[in-house]
Structure 1
Amino acid sequence: MSSNFYELYGAKGLDIHEVRDLIAQRLGVPFEEHESSYKGGVYYRHSDGDRELTVEMNWTDEDGYLSEPHHEEYAVLVYATRVEANFQERLNGDFTLLRSEEL
């Protein structure tokens, strides 16, 4: 059962491909590669009904601002919408919950 939350996680010491692969393995979900200048280039997305996961870089825009400036120590970000209640537990401690908002 999914929860009605929007969450942001950060990963340290892993690149975007490693984060994608870890989450895919632990959750048993595939990711599709996408490219968007709005998201800083290549990012990965999984969507299943209302649940959505994206793995993105904490990138710097043309004005020099990070996409998540309050979390500059995290190079890779995971945006999770309507994920299972045990989502963070299933990530097995490799990711830090940075923000959680009820939808």
Structure 2
Amino acid sequence: MAAYDLYGFKGMAILEAKSKIEEKLNFSLEERESSYQGGIYYKFGDEESESFVLKGNIDPFDGEAVEQMFSDYPVLLYVDMTLRSEEIKSLLSTEFCLLRHELFD
């Protein structure tokens, strides 16, 4: 079963979060830009398999939090279609808070 997880980061700039993720998960996030994602964001993976998206929790159109329920987290990491949710959680858990965990077939 694939998991879709959302992590939040408090008190960290997005570049600091990026560097910690790259160090703990041993891959490089690629810088991208999209108005849909709120400007500059970082991605690893593709739509066909496990992917990671790191972005700010602010909607560029209305200035509100993208994830309203987690508005106190300025930086978000989306982990989509992962089969190693528990492993990622254990690697990130010291500094990153798991906000949502959903399973899909």
Determine if the TM-score, normalized by the shorter chain, exceeds 0.5. Answer: yes
Given the alignment, which residue of 46, 49, 67 partners 2:44? 46
TM-score by length of 1: 0.89
Say if 1:22 and 1:83 are closer, same or farther in 2 by CA, change over 3 A: farther
Shift of 1:88: 0.8
Question: Identity across aligned pairs (percent)?
Answer: 35
Given the alignment, which residue of 27, 33, 36 partners 2:31? 33
- Tell me how far apart the structure 2 counterparts of residues 63 and 57 of structure 1 sit (CA, whole Å): 14
Residues 38-76 of structure 1: CA distance to partner in whole angstroms, max 9, x if unpaired?
Answer: 111000001166110111000133234321111010000
Do the aligned residues in 2 keep the contact of 1:14 with 1:76 (CA within 8 Å)? Answer: yes
Gaps of 5+ in 1: none
**What amino acid is the match of 1:77?**
L
How many residues align structurally?
Answer: 101
- Tell me how far apart the structure 2 counterparts of residues 98 and 9 of structure 1 sit (CA, whole Å): 5
Aligned to 2:60, the other structure's residue is in SS state: coil
Say if 1:83 and 1:17 are closer, same or farther in 2 by CA, change over 3 A: farther
Which residue matches 1:16? 14
Q: Identify which range, 13-22 or 64-73, moves more after superposition.
A: 64-73
**What amino acid is the match of 1:37?**
S
TM-score by length of 2: 0.88
Residues 25-44 of structure 1: CA distance to partner in whole angstroms, max 9, x if unpaired?
Answer: 11111110000111110000
Gaps of 5+ in 2: none
Kindly report the root-mean-square deviation, in angstroms, between the aligned alpha carbons of the 2 structures.
1.6
Aligned to 1:39, the other structure's residue is in SS state: coil
